[in-house]
């Protein structure tokens, strides 16, 4: 049997009797209702109530959160005209009186985001004649998909500014419950749902008319602020990401904190961060160029040093205690150009080794692959190059000695 629940979520916002000084930690007074039925639903318990203050997911707005007899509400959904209050499967709840507590701060937040979305979609239609095709209100960010190609930065700023004007004017947001035959009197922004006895039309006075079942602020001033965070191509449309209300404050605080952290770390003034970072970037590129020149010179010196060890095309082995593998490879590549000897070089700090040989037709992997396997060493390469990880300190020297033996064989073959 279908359970009919009295829907009080439009009237009840959890902010009743509040002074407005509660900040983000707004918690609502408990509300009495009765649990009429409990059902299994996808591994959860679904409660059906005689009346509810919880908004069920719909119209792009997520379902309310809160608690029923102190059991946290996981979600609220509407199915076949019934409102299902979903809680954990093992929740100790039964038929009878229940106290409902709404997460009023979250509801307030979604109400603000939803009104912000109407304002944004309406403003984009008004300024750019581009309709919103779909929308999503997220826990952190919201998006609308707009039937239009790219937006310029100037257009996005114009949209934000126009929306700010409507917020400052504090236009009433009016709810019309309207029989379908009367809908023609409204310049609706989108197609109304079919088959409803009464269609709910949300009007931002004179500015935007949209059929909608969501919760809304009583006037545009409640939106506080609307901020577009970005716009990118999406399935032939443009997806606009935005936030409204307190989320703009939180976002701005977070960005300020990041800017101050960068400012302190790089010792550049917080209001000149962009120019400061660009200048640092240039300096760092210059330094990289200089460093590369120095490293190449150093590699040439080290390579000459290595080559002095080369006994008539034999094997040259060296374990570097103070060079990372990148440097070691640079030395190896430089030396390789001047010798036919096999080079077995390793970096102590990186725990890596490489074998290099400039002679054609050499297959180092075939020579040392087995030894690497025996020592459980991972590595790879092809032809005259092989690179791998050194085994732990205890077996490291034995491993290198064995590699030397194998590679010496190669050195004297030709």
Contact residues: Zn ion, CB under 5 A: 212, 214
CB of 253 to Zn ion, least distance (A): 28
Q: Which is nearer to Zn ion, 193 or 272 (CB)?
A: 193
Q: Which is nearer to Zn ion, 119 or 303 (CB)?
A: 119
CA distance 73 to 86: 6
CB of 135 to Zn ion, least distance (A): 7
Write the CA distances from 391 to 352, 367, 406, integer angstroms. Answer: 9, 18, 17
Q: Which is nearer to Zn ion, 112 or 410 (CB)?
A: 112
Q: Which is nearer to Zn ion, 212 or 356 (CB)?
A: 212
CB of 69 to Zn ion, least distance (A): 31
Q: Which is nearer to Zn ion, 245 or 379 (CB)?
A: 245
CB of 210 to Zn ion, least distance (A): 6
Q: Which is nearer to Zn ion, 83 or 212 (CB)?
A: 212
Q: Which is nearer to Zn ion, 208 or 327 (CB)?
A: 208
Of all residues in the shown chain, the one whose CB is closest to Zn ion is 212
CB of 113 to Zn ion, least distance (A): 10
CB of 109 to Zn ion, least distance (A): 15
CB of 11 to Zn ion, least distance (A): 18
- Pairing relationship of beta strands 51-52 and 6-7 according to DSSP bridges: parallel
Contacts made by residues 334-339, CB under 8 angstroms, sequence distance 24+: 334/296, 334/299, 334/300, 334/302, 334/303, 335/302, 335/303, 335/306, 335/307, 338/303, 338/307, 339/307, 339/310, 339/313
């Amino acid at each position: 049997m279908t359970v009919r629940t009295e829907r009080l979520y439009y009237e009840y916002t959890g902010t009743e009797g509040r002074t407005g000084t509660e900040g983000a930690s707004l918690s609502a007074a408990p509300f009495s209702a009765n649990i009429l039925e409990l059902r299994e639903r996808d591994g959860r318990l679904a409660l059906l109530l005689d009346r509810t203050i919880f908004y069920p997911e719909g119209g792009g707005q997520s379902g309310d959160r809160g608690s029923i007899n102190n059991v946290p509400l996981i979600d609220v959904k509407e199915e076949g005209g019934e409102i299902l209050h979903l809680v954990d499967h093992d929740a100790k709840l039964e038929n009878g009186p229940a106290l409902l507590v709404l997460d009023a701060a979250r509801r307030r937040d979604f109400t603000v985001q939803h009104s912000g979305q109407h304002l944004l979609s309406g403003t984009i239609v008004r300024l750019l004649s581009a309709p919103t095709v779909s929308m999503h209100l997220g826990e952190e960010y919201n998006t609308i998909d707009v039937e239009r190609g790219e937006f310029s930065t100037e257009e996005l700023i114009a949209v934000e500014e126009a929306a700010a004007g409507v917020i400052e004017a504090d236009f009433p947001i009016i709810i019309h419950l309207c029989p379908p035959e009367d809908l023609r009197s409204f310049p609706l922004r989108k197609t109304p749902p079919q088959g409803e006895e009464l269609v709910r039309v949300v009007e931002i006075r004179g500015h935007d008319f949209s059929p909608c079942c969501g919760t809304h602020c009583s006037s545009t001033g409640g939106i506080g602020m609307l901020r577009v965070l970005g716009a990118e191509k999406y399935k032939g449309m443009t997806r606009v990401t935005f936030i409204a209300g307190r989320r703009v404050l939180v976002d701005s605080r977070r960005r300020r904190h990041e800017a101050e952290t960068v400012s302190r770390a790089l010792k550049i003034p917080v209001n000149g961060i962009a120019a400061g970072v660009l200048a640092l970037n240039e300096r760092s590129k210059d330094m990289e160029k200089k460093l590369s020149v120095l490293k190449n010179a150093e590699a040439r010196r080290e390579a000459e040093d290595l080559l002095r060890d080369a006994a008539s095309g034999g094997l040259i082995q060296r374990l570097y205690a103070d060079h990372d593998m990148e440097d070691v490879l640079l030395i190896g590549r430089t030396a390789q150009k001047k010798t036919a000897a096999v080079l077995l070089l390793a970096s102590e700090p990186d725990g890596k080794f490489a074998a290099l040989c400039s002679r054609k037709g050499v297959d180092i992997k075939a020579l040392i692959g087995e030894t690497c396997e025996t020592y459980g060493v991972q590595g790879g390469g092809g032809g005259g190059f092989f690179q791998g990880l050194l085994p732990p300190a205890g077996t490291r020297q034995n491993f290198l000695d064995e590699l030397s033996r194998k590679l010496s064989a190669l050195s004297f073959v030709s």
